[in-house]
Amino acid sequence: MSDRIIIALAGNPNSGKSTFFNALTGARQHVANYPGVTVEKKEGFIEFNGQRLHIVDLPGTYSLTAYSQEELVARNFLVNERPHLVVDVLNAGALERNLYLAVQFLELGIPLILALNMMDEVRKQGRRIDTNRLSSLLGVPVVETVARTGEGKEAVLHATLEFSDSPKVPWKPLRISYGPDLDPVIQEMETEIASDHFLTDLFPARWTALKYLEEDPQVRELGKGHAIAEKLEEMAAQVSEHCQSTLRTTPDSIIADYRYGYISSVLRQDVIQRDESRLRRMDMSDRADKIVTHRLIGPMIMIGVLLGLYKATFVLGEAPMGWVENFFGWMGEMATVLLPEGLLRSLVISGIIDGVGGILSFVPLIAIIFILLAILEDSGYIARMAYMLDRVFRTFGLHGSSVMPFIVSGGIAGGCAVPGIMGARALRSPKEKLATILTAPFMPCGAKIPVFLMLAAAFFPEKGASVMFWITLGAWIAALLVAKLLRLTIIRGASTPFVMELPPYRLPTIKGVLIHAWERTWMYIRKAGTVILALAILIWAAMTFPLLPEEQTAVFETKQKQIEQHIAELESANFSVPETTNESHEKLRASLAHIEAEKSEAALRHALAGRLGSALEPLSALAGFDWRTNIALIGGFAAKEVIVSTLGTVYSLGEIDPEDTAPLSQRLHKDPAWSPVTALSMIVFVLLYAPCFVTIVVMARESSWGWALFAMGFNTMLAFGLATVVFQVGRLLN
Amino acid sequence: MAELIGLRQMKINQQARIVAVQAQGDLGRRIREMGLIPGTVITVIGRAPLRDPVALRLLDFTLTLRNNEADHIIVDPLAAASGALS
């Protein structure tokens, strides 16, 4: 009794399962990914009547096949971890379809409690569900719940305790008849499996037989090497052939038909009473959709929602983002005061504080975008967007739901790929999701924009707005075409079926939205924080080491000392009449700053990043980039903000504020090595090349390190190729 | 009794009973697990702005599928019922 009970929470998507999980566990939950996949695993620990309960929220699924990551994860958990029981949360308003999953649990034999959720909606529609009758027909406890209000939550927990108090019984699988064509062979297979003890430690014999008939890839993989497996496969193949030749159907469709047949035979026994007159009037959602997904009004509303989402995120996020940045700026100043000048100070400020500050300054943006996305998702609007846009995105091998990650990443110039890629979680189609994640970073994010504006100011004055417009358009074209390319080559394969539920519109709950947003934000802070800190230090080291040799530093320092001395002399000599000395004083100060900037330039050129920049010059010259640009672009691997500030350093301009790039624009404009063609080539390169490190880490989390590194390499090559074309063609034309 | 047609040919607000689901593999599985099986009565309630995908009303819920997926579903239009649910 003192052992904790493990409860798996299962159910269809949109059944209110997450809401129910939140109602049960409150904020005491833990989110991680299942090992090896990007499916979220949510767990919560609670105590009820002195009993400790461990609740695991399985991913929402419609079935228990092995064709999606979610289903496989759910099934593996049940079979391998053997939870004490499953609480299946059902949308009572669509009971028939929701029972399809429940029947599969019954067939697996795992102890089950049915939570008929959203009973408030059912009652409002004038329907009645006889839960006692349903319970006795299916032989499992049935509890009515309303997850939004917490109704029925105690009853479910009581039923759980009742179960754990009763003596342990082995799993009792339900046996459904699958008709004259399948029953005999199922029986035969079952006998074989049972006598051979084939996989019986994992599944009931009949379940294994069914899975062989359904051609379940996972079970077949498990069976490899067993003599009996071959026999079973052969039997399944024979039946399949028979079904196809005589009935023109397949065993797995017969199985589905009979499962539904079983469900309707149960429901027909006076379980549901409908009030037909109210049923006809009821569907508000369908009526709302007449407008929300209307041919003309629908897209207009959608543009409004997307613009609103985008504006809200970056307007609301701006201030807190500034606070975080200011805080780290203040920390940097403190470190300047507290630490002696030298390597340690440089590491702490340029490496750690700037690195960590860079990561954490995204947190407000991520939190806001997740709150807004959770509202759109929970309300049901995301599904409508996917529905309306699917036709466009499918042309490029993507999915209707790909629009959101693209927009947030900067599809309207100025977003950020980090929340964009995390937002791709809403995509349930693995191939489309991967293609979306890999192409979303092409969008002109907020950090790339200062580079574009600076170059536009230098070489296309007065045309900033149209330059930005063409850049944004170019990014969309590049993203969609590359997505198409990927889907035709390395992410090849038929599109995932779109078959998707349009859930009724619902008001999101504040609690649900906040929990949802918080857990994802926290995951970002925790995971991205550790990796990126290491990378930030690495980048810092590359831009610092090897140090400038002593004698070179000495040259700069001697010059500086001389001027400082000069200033000191001036100050003491003319202390009484400061006005007259002002001019020469200023000049001296300026030349002092200039020497400091020259020293930084020399140091950077001497460091690994600088040497790399110089070494790459023969190659990068093809696209018109000299060693200075190279260094800045290498810095851009860390964060795109670094490009402008590094250019400032290599052109000996000292600190360049990304908000005010006028000095850099003027400098580049006068530089004979630069021309509008060079600028254009650089714009193309910066737009398309490797995503920044934060993005890479997030990409790795949402797909794999392999794909994240692929994006780094592939995007850089693509960007360089196109930049070279632009530069060479542009030079020929000029 | 009307002729059997593909789901794609159905008009908005038209009601029909599913006669056969010819899709195999993953698509067939997805279609069937959502309850689109022979005997189910469906109503087309709308199409996306670009005429694809299509939105269907089943007894208790609404779902969408692409036209090329709808092609695998053969239906028997119910003559009298058109417009009943709108």
Domains of chain B are 5-77 (2.30.30.90)
Rounded-to-integer distance, Cα A643 and Cα A621, Å: 18
Across the beta sheet with B5-6, what order do the strands follow? Answer: A500-502, B62-65, B54-57, B41-47, B15-21, B73-77, B5-6
Give the chain A residue whose CA is nearest to the CA of B70.
Answer: A499
Partner residue facing A298 (CB), from B37, B49, B62: B49
What mean pLDDT is predicted for residues A7-18?
Answer: 92
pLDDT confidence of A188, banded at 50, 70, 90? very high
Rounded-to-integer distance, Cα B53 and Cα B67, Å: 6
**Residue pLDDT, tens place only, A634-662:** 888 888 878 887 887 777 666 666 666 77
What pLDDT is attached to residue B83?
A: 45
State the nearest Cα–Cα gap between A96 and chain B, in angstroms.
8
pLDDT confidence of A1, banded at 50, 70, 90? very low
What pLDDT is attached to residue A7?
A: 94
The percent of residues above 90 in pLDDT, for chain A, comes to 46
Q: Which residue of A90, A281, A387 is the best one to mutate when testing the B interface, meaning the one whose CB has the most B CBs within 10 A? A: A387
pLDDT by position in tens, chain B (length 86): 568 999 999 999 999 999 999 988 888 998 999 999 999 999 999 999 999 999 999 988 999 999 999 999 999 999 754 444 43
Q: Which residue of B61, B68, B73, B85 is the best one to mutate when testing the A interface, meaning the one whose CB has the most A CBs within 10 A? A: B61
pLDDT confidence of A563, banded at 50, 70, 90? confident
What pLDDT is attached to residue A658?
A: 65
Which residues 135-194 of chain A have a CB within 8 Å of chain B?
none
What mean pLDDT is predicted for residues A557-566?
Answer: 86
What mean pLDDT is predicted for residues A314-331?
Answer: 86
pLDDT at A533 over 80: no
| DSSP 8-state code for residue A424 | G
Across chain A, what does the average pLDDT equal?
A: 87
Instruction: Judge if the upstream peptide bond of residue B53 is cis by omega within 30 degrees of 0.
Output: yes
Give the chain A residue whose CA is nearest to the CA of B84.
Answer: A280
What mean pLDDT is predicted for residues A518-526?
Answer: 77
Rounded-to-integer distance, Cα A531 and Cα A574, Å: 55
What mean pLDDT is predicted for residues A252-281?
Answer: 84
What pLDDT is attached to residue A213?
A: 95
Annotate A188-253 with DSSP letters as a single string: HHHHHHHHHTTTTTTS-HHHHHHHHHTT-HHHHHHHTT-HHHHHHHHHHHHHHHHIIIIISS-HHH
pLDDT confidence of A150, banded at 50, 70, 90? very high
CB contact under 8 A, B60 and A96: yes
Rounded-to-integer distance, Cα A176 and Cα A715, Å: 53
pLDDT at A282 over 80: no
Evaluate whether A213 touches A252 at the Cβ level (below 8 Å): yes
Rounded-to-integer distance, Cα A292 and Cα A384, Å: 8
pLDDT confidence of A539, banded at 50, 70, 90? confident
pLDDT confidence of A40, banded at 50, 70, 90? confident
Rounded-to-integer distance, Cα A140 and Cα A113, Å: 6
Two structure tokens written together for A169: 């019984």
Partner residue facing B66 (CB), from A91, A388, A390: A390
What pLDDT is attached to residue A570?
A: 77
A218–B contact, CB cutoff 8 A: no
Number of CB pairs, chain A paired with chain B, less than 8 A apart? 122
What pLDDT is attached to residue B81?
A: 47
What mean pLDDT is predicted for residues A445-462?
Answer: 87
CB contact under 8 A, B49 and A100: no
What pLDDT is attached to residue B84?
A: 44
pLDDT at A458 over 70: yes
Annotate A485-527 with DSSP letters as a single string: HHHHTTT-SPPPP--EEEPPP-PPPHHHHHHHHHHHHHHIIII
Nearest to A206 by CA among A220, A225, A192: A192
What mean pLDDT is predicted for residues A575-581?
Answer: 56
What pLDDT is attached to residue A527?
A: 59
A546–B contact, CB cutoff 8 A: no
Of residues A1 and A713, more confidently modeled: A713
Partner residue facing B49 (CB), from A62, A100, A299: A299
- Of the options 3.30.830.10, 3.40.50.300, 1.10.40.30, 3.30.70.940, the CATH number for the domain spanning A5-165: 3.40.50.300
Rounded-to-integer distance, Cα A361 and Cα A324, Å: 5
Q: What is the CATH number of domain A179-259?
A: 1.10.287
**Residue pLDDT, tens place only, A688-729:** 999 998 899 889 988 999 999 999 999 999 999 999 999 999
Rounded-to-integer distance, Cα A467 and Cα A456, Å: 7
Q: Is residue A658 classed as helix, strand or coil in its secondary structure?
A: coil
Give the chain B residue whose CA is nearest to the CA of A104.
Answer: B33
Please state which of the ranges A26-35, A160-169, A323-332, A533-542 shows the lowest mean pLDDT: A26-35
Please state which of the ranges A30-39, A95-104, A178-187, B77-86 shows the lowest mean pLDDT: B77-86
Q: Which residue of B13, B18, B34 is the best one to mutate when testing the A interface, meaning the one whose CB has the most A CBs within 10 A? A: B34
CB contact under 8 A, B38 and A257: yes
What mean pLDDT is predicted for residues A439-451?
Answer: 89
Non-local (6+) Cβ contacts of A114 within 8 A are A88, A90, A102, A134, A135, A138, A140, A141, A142, A143
CB contact under 8 A, B32 and A299: no
Q: Which residues of A touch B50 (CB under 8 A)?
A: 388, 391-392
Tally of residues, chain B: 86
CB contact under 8 A, B37 and A499: no
Two structure tokens written together for A382: 């995301």
pLDDT at A578 over 60: no
Give the chain B residue whose CA is nearest to the CA of A497.
Answer: B27
What mean pLDDT is predicted for residues A478-483?
Answer: 96
What mean pLDDT is predicted for residues A118-126?
Answer: 89
Two structure tokens written together for A328: 């780290």
Q: Which amino acid is at A540?
A: W
**Sign of the four-CA dihedral A216, A217, A223, A224:** positive
pLDDT at A573 over 80: no
Q: Which amino acid is at A299?
A: P
| DSSP 8-state code for residue A93 | G
Q: Where are the alpha helices (DSSP H) in A32-178?
A: 69-76, 95-108, 119-124, 131-138, 153-165
Of residues A560 and A459, more confidently modeled: A459
pLDDT at A2 over 60: no
CB contact under 8 A, A502 and B66: no
What pLDDT is attached to residue A68?
A: 80
What pLDDT is attached to residue B85?
A: 44
pLDDT at A464 over 90: no
Give the chain B residue whose CA is nearest to the CA of A65.
Answer: B29
Q: Which residues of B touch A94 (CB under 8 A)?
A: 60-61
pLDDT at A528 over 80: no
Please state which of the ranges A135-149, A288-302, A330-344 shows the lowest mean pLDDT: A330-344
CB contact under 8 A, A286 and B21: no
Rounded-to-integer distance, Cα A734 and Cα A727, Å: 10
Partner residue facing A499 (CB), from B48, B63, B84: B63
Q: Which residues of B touch A290 (CB under 8 A)?
A: 46
pLDDT at A568 over 60: yes
What pLDDT is attached to residue B86?
A: 38
Q: Write the ipTM.
A: 0.91
